[in-house]
Amino acid sequence: MAPRVAVIGAGPLGLIAVKNLKEDGFDVTCFEARPYVGGLWNYSDDERLSTAATTIFNSSKYRSAISDYPFPDDADDFPTWQQMHQYLEGFADHFELRPHLRLNSPVTSLSRDGKQWVIEITPKDGPSRREYFDKVAIATGSFVIPKQPQLQGVEKFTGRQLHAINFHRPETFKGERVLIIGLHASAQDVATGLAGHASQAYVSHRNGVLLIPRYEPKGATFDQTMNIGFAMFQMSMQTWFPNLFTWLVDKMLVSMSKKAFPNAPKSWNLFPAPSIATTPPLVGDEMYPLMESGFCEPVGAVAQITGPKTVELKDGRILEDIDSIIYCTGYDTATPFVDKEYNPYPTPGGPADLYRGTFPLHEDPEVRNSLAFFGHAAVPFPGFIQHEIIILATSQIWKGNSSLPPLGEMKKWHRGYLDWRNDLLRKQQWPSTFYVAFMPFKDHVLWFDQAAGSDVFSHFGMFSAKAWSFWWNDKDLYRKCAGGLFTPSIWRLFETGKRKAWPKAREQIYLDNEAAQKQIKKRLEKLKLEKNKKTR
């Protein structure tokens, strides 16, 4: 009898987990609190986390697809939330996942009874029930508890205060002067929503921020230059010259930012920005025009609230007649429904007590090999592959084709991971946000690549026999993979004995490269037309 596996959450990671666990022979049931699949990638005005009405995916469809399910041709280069939700609906239908899904089934408790996991489901309308499973994959994501800082003197403020998670119906801010706290992705969504409704927005930030464009000057989407060749170079540099590599990438991104957004005045305090080592840049194509027009003015950090509608900044400036404050300050990570003994967050918002951000550091080996947390570890790969590779690896571990190391080795890795994080933070010249799921690139990717049976990087290493064999037997495909688009389909190309390769992977790699080249040509034609219009 196949082991029973529960997947909690039917967002992108939950759907990917159901699909791959099902293919690997597990008896899978997925529980989702919402009445639909796709998780946050369906705009919702309830109190759950969802996209904003204006959200656009930050990485391109050429790099972001699930490895064996490409985006449709008519999707935008950077998909809208509507296109993303349609894509995930299509994924569920294409791989016949719906019989495995239990919608409107919020999980309120996860505990253990003997050698089985006990899940309690509490529907909104109906009695609670308990179900028993051999293994559990938690795919509810890491953005759980909204952060809302307590500003000094906030009790004096008489206007509206809310977190970005509750920002809906921007028309209700008509004519208001709004203060946005924080400057990153959710601040951009809020500012874009306020445009045309609020009379003025201020965006308060304590650090600089690196704005990068969606497209390069030569027409490619910004993420197309990160090919396998660059990834191999990154791994080598991070092994031998990590500080130099970070310095070079920071310099490159700052140069890119200043060229793309040349009219940013010094008063915005965008520079110096925290290093890419701890803080990802903001794809700022929507925010920059709002700042440039004066509608959304970047200002310094808040010192205190001084009156019913008055805010004092740390540089001494006073903002008058503020009607609303919107907190775009992110989320603390947590898994509140998990029993305390198995909960990886002793402190919500802190680094998780997990091996490679996924597997519990529990004394019982049966617990370590039957519980996984998806979405709590990430590397700087665009799109879904950064999580899909972890899901593929987990399925292979549970199937017995790969294995976790002994507990002592797992704990040693975790201590090293915490040291790595603390070292990066010490090197920063100012306090900065460090996404708690962020993992070291080389160490993390290589381990999951091997555990998943993808075996990508051993097929491109300079001193690898597999790489030389691949090049000798299929030179054109090798060159297309190594120097062309790092399409997600490359992760499905190789047969390694752990899982079967996708039969269409080779064909899709060529199709993806052709589509990317067409995109560049189309972009350059558009830029040429715009330039001609300006010179007339």
Q: According to the model, what pLDDT value does residue 430 have?
A: 63
Q: For the chain, what is the largest distance between any 2 Cα atoms, rounded to a whole number of angstroms? A: 77
Pick the CATH number of 4-144+333-452 from 3.40.140.10, 2.40.30.40, 3.30.572.10, 3.50.50.60: 3.50.50.60
Cis before 289 (ω within 30):
no
Q: According to the model, what pLDDT value does residue 267 have?
A: 94
Q: pLDDT category, 348, cuts 50, 70, 90?
A: confident
47-57 average pLDDT score: 88
Give the helix, strand, coil percentages of the chain, each rounded to 5: 40, 15, 45
The identity of residue 357, as a single letter, is G
CB 279 within 8 A of CB 273: yes
Q: What is the pLDDT of residues 370-403, one digit of tens each?
A: 999 999 998 778 899 999 999 999 999 999 999 9
Q: According to the model, what pLDDT value does residue 47 have?
A: 77
Q: Please give the C-alpha separations between residue 11 and each of 49, 103, 183, 349, 450, in angstroms, as whole numbers.
A: 12, 11, 26, 21, 26
Is residue 312 over pLDDT 90? Answer: yes
Residue count of the chain: 536
Distance CA 264, CA 473 (A): 51
More confident residue, 437 or 41: 41
Distance CA 252, CA 256 (A): 6
**408 burial type by CB count under 10 A (0-12 exposed, 13-18 middle, 19+ buried):** exposed
Is residue 257 over pLDDT 80? Answer: yes
Q: Name, in order, each residue with C-beta under 8 angstroms of 226's C-beta and a sequence gap of 6 or more.
A: 63, 382, 486
Q: In 10 A of CB 524, how many CB atoms?
A: 15
148-213+261-329: which CATH topology? FAD/NAD(P)-binding domain (3.50.50)
DSSP assigned state of 438: B
Q: What is the pLDDT of residues 491-505, one digit of tens each?
A: 999 999 998 999 999
Q: Which two tokens stand for residue 31?
A: 């529980």
241-250 average pLDDT score: 91
Positive or negative, the Cα torsion across 469, 474, 475, 481? negative
Distance CA 96, CA 83 (A): 20
**353 burial type by CB count under 10 A (0-12 exposed, 13-18 middle, 19+ buried):** middle
Q: Which two tokens stand for residue 48?
A: 């759950």
168-185 average pLDDT score: 96
Q: According to the model, what pLDDT value does residue 530 have?
A: 82
Is residue 448 over pLDDT 80? Answer: yes
Q: pLDDT category, 46, cuts 50, 70, 90?
A: confident
Q: According to the model, what pLDDT value does residue 357 have?
A: 95
Q: pLDDT category, 11, cuts 50, 70, 90?
A: very high
346-369 average pLDDT score: 93
Q: Name, in order, each residue with C-beta under 8 angstroms of 514's C-beta and a sequence gap of 6 or more.
A: none
222-236 average pLDDT score: 90
34-46 average pLDDT score: 92
CB 161 within 8 A of CB 324: yes
Q: According to the model, what pLDDT value does residue 528 have?
A: 87
Q: Name, in order, each residue with C-beta under 8 angstroms of 492's C-beta and a sequence gap of 6 or more.
A: 67, 68, 454, 501, 502, 505
Q: What is the pLDDT of residues 75-115, one digit of tens each?
A: 999 999 999 999 999 999 999 999 999 999 999 999 999 99
154-163 average pLDDT score: 96
CB 508 within 8 A of CB 489: yes
Of the chain, the percentage scoring pLDDT greater than 70 comes to 99
Q: Give the chain's mean pLDDT.
A: 93
Q: Which two tokens stand for residue 492?
A: 């499905």
Distance CA 424, CA 419 (A): 9
More confident residue, 526 or 536: 526
Q: According to the model, what pLDDT value does residue 432 have?
A: 63
Q: pLDDT category, 535, cuts 50, 70, 90?
A: confident
Q: Name, in order, each residue with C-beta under 8 angstroms of 416's C-beta and a sequence gap of 6 or more.
A: none
Q: pLDDT category, 361, cuts 50, 70, 90?
A: very high
CATH 3.50.50.60-classified regions of the chain: 4-144+333-452, 148-213+261-329
Report the b/e string of 319-334 with b at 16+ CB within 10 A.
beebbbbbbbbbbbbb
Interior angle at CA 379, CA 13 and CA 500, nearest 5:
55
Q: What is the pLDDT of residues 183-195, one digit of tens each?
A: 999 999 999 999 9
Is residue 344 over pLDDT 70? Answer: yes
The whole model's pTM is what?
Answer: 0.95
Q: According to the model, what pLDDT value does residue 533 have?
A: 76
